[in-house]
Amino acid sequence: MPIPKTHDQGQDRRSGFALHCTQALVSILILLVALIAHRSHAIETVHYTGDKVSLLPLLEFVSESKGETLDDILVRPESDWHHRQSINNNLGQTSDPIWARVRLSGISTAFGQPIVRLNYPHHDYVDFYLFERGRLIRHFTVGDQLTFDSRPVDQRTFWFPLDDASADEQEIYIRISTPGPLLMPLDLMSYKEAAEEEKLLYLWAGAFLGIIAIMALYNLFLYFSLRESSYILYVIYLLSAGVMQGTMFGFGTQYFWGSNPGVNNQVIAFLAPFVQLTAMAFVLKFVDLRNFGSILDRSVANLLMFVLIVMCIASFTVPYSLIVKLGHSIALFGVICAFYVGIKGWIMGMKSARMFTIAWFAHLVFIGWYLLDMTGKIPATEIGNQAFALGFIAELSLLSIAFADKMNQEKELRINSQTKLLDMQVAMNQELDNKVKERTAALEKANRRLEELSVTDGLTKLFNRRYFDQVFRDHYEQSYKDQHPISVMMVDIDFFKKLNDNYGHAFGDLCLVRAAQLIRKVVTMPGAFAARYGGEEFVVVLPKTTEDRATQVGEMLRKAFEQTTVTQGKQSKNMTISIGVACTIPSQPGLEEKLLSVADACLYQSKENGRNQVTPSEKLAGQ
């Protein structure tokens, strides 16, 4: 028999129903809140309309933990992903790989060929993943540690095509692992627009490298003309900086060592300190720190040079990341030191140091900007990435003016010296005139002395060229009248210019003096006389002497030179000579120059045949 329902039981059933409804409503609310919270953390979406879009502001980042794979990254909680607090494409220098993600829309319906461009060429490894409806449709792996032909597009930076996209939305995930600065200038753009920007970059790079090449050739010409070592140091600095900037542009990997992974990092690691080393060597030579710098200045300079040399050597074994960090610090310190050296030279009265100081100040500003950009201390920009090149061009232009100023200064010094010498000569002439008026006897004695000096070479004490021309003409006419043979020997010291360059002009002058002494010692026939014909060339006239006898005398003279050692301090050298001999019985007066020409041709033949020999005119005629 059923038990009848009481009023209390009905009340309990209604209360339970109300409780279930309340619990369901709370569950729905919780679900809605979770859904809203989920959507608030959902991946950002970039809608592409055909215009260039910077993806950096909407990128979400996460650091990779050790051993994580793509699958692990895809299931990471939304709370792990975060935006950059500042719009700065430089993420600093980190040892952990970085992941970035963003959602794209409008790709499949866009005109042209959309690409994602990572506009920095020096990352070791870059993985690019393209997802569509949760499915991976493209994957590229590129970087400096891989060959250049692994890139999907043959460009100096990393271009990732999106031509496989067909749905309304896609998601991209990018993984970057690099020991250097982690720059991420990531853009969504069309292939055509990217190619146009590359053309502008190539135009800028070509102008920059062209300026360096022209200045290097110009200063190389100055070096060979003036033999001033500061010019060759500047050429080395120019070329190393040019190669460094070309490498930073990405041209090294693109055109030279793209098939050798890892070489790009090695080149940058070596050139970073080497450019500073050559710059420092040039600065010390240009400003002449050895002469005006204090002991502390020279000690700091030598220490910095030593550190840079060690860094160049260590770049082949020390990790790339450490060399880059040290290079940034040393670079700024080196430019500051160069700036200080310029200021000190300016204060101490070096006119050329003024423009030099301004040049290095401009370089200091730009190098500081570049280093702050590369280390992530300031927002990275395209101009900031090229600050090194801009500063280098500014420095190059101003240094060219400094070089010209230095050359003008040296020219002024020479003019002042010549003016002083001229003033001294005028004063001496005035004093001489006064003495002439006072004492006629002293004047006659002085005139005789001046006449003697006017016919004598000041260095060798032999007759000079002017006196030789006069006396030789007289001897030739006398030989014509008497119908006696007259011989001429042209004597030239072998490789005298090289001797002068290797041992110095003072030693070269000593060799000329010793040569004159040997000629006087060997040539002792009556009537014979010798003169300095010009430079390292001498001429000997032998009246009433046959060609055979003159050749014998020439051979005696050659052996005397060969057996004589010229010594000055620790320097010593055996000289050799080449001789040309010509002889004639004049058939008519006035042909003395023809005889000299024959002797000179014989001398040329001696040089052509190996030098250190005597060539008579009969051998020349036989050829």
Query: 554-576 pLDDT, tens per residue?
Result: 999 999 999 999 998 888 888 89
Instruction: Please name which of 398, 93, 386 lies closest in space to residue 246, comparing C-alpha atoms.
Output: 386
Q: Which of 171, 228, 395, 536 is catalytic?
A: 536
What's the length of the chain?
623
Co-location of 187 and 234 in the same domain: no
Highest mean pLDDT: which of 155-159, 246-250, 380-384, 419-423? 155-159
Taking the whole predicted model, whether its pTM rises above 0.85 is answered as no
Query: Does residue 82 have a pLDDT over 80?
Result: yes
Question: For 306, what's the count of Cα atoms within 13 Å in the CB-facing half-sphere?
Answer: 6
Query: Which pLDDT band, with edges at 50, 70 and 90, does 237 fall under?
Result: confident
Co-location of 152 and 178 in the same domain: yes
Output the pLDDT for position 341: 64
Distance between CA atoms of 49 and 132, rounded to whole angstroms?
19
**What are the phi and psi torsion angles at 534 (to 5°)?**
155, 130
- Domains: count for the chain: 3
- Which of the two residues, 552 and 212, has the higher pLDDT score? 552
Q: 612 with 576: CB under 8 angstroms?
A: yes
CA 289 vs. chain centroid, Å, equals 21
437 assigned to some structural domain:
no
Co-location of 395 and 483 in the same domain: no
Locate 414 and state its tokens. Answer: 């020479």
Domain boundaries, position 226: 195-411
Co-location of 559 and 584 in the same domain: yes
| Packing angle of the helix pair 320-347, 295-314 (nearest 10 deg) | 160
Output the pLDDT for position 409: 61
Output the pLDDT for position 262: 85
Instruction: Please name which of 69, 90, 85 lies closest in space to residue 175, comparing C-alpha atoms.
Output: 69
Co-location of 187 and 202 in the same domain: no
536 part of the active site: yes
Q: Round the CA-based radius of gyration of the chain to a whole number and report it.
A: 43
Distance between CA atoms of 103 and 225, rounded to whole angstroms?
64
Query: Does residue 594 have a pLDDT over 60?
Result: yes
Query: Which pLDDT band, with edges at 50, 70 and 90, does 577 fall under?
Result: very high
Co-location of 178 and 221 in the same domain: no
Query: Does residue 325 have a pLDDT over 90?
Result: no
Indicate which CATH number applies to the domain containing 483: 3.30.70.270
Locate 160 and state its tokens. Answer: 């990732």
Distance between CA atoms of 144 and 159, rounded to whole angstroms?
14
Output the pLDDT for position 382: 57
Co-location of 374 and 405 in the same domain: yes
138 assigned to some structural domain:
yes
Q: CA–CA distance from 148 to each of 155, 245, 264, 406 (Å)?
A: 9, 19, 11, 46
Question: For 619, what's the count of Cα atoms within 13 Å in the CB-facing half-sphere?
Answer: 18
Co-location of 116 and 173 in the same domain: yes
Distance between CA atoms of 543 and 530, rounded to whole angstroms?
12
Co-location of 68 and 202 in the same domain: no
17 assigned to some structural domain:
no
Co-location of 158 and 223 in the same domain: no
Co-location of 105 and 72 in the same domain: yes
Among 27-36, 67-76, 189-198, 573-582, where is mean pLDDT lowest? Answer: 27-36
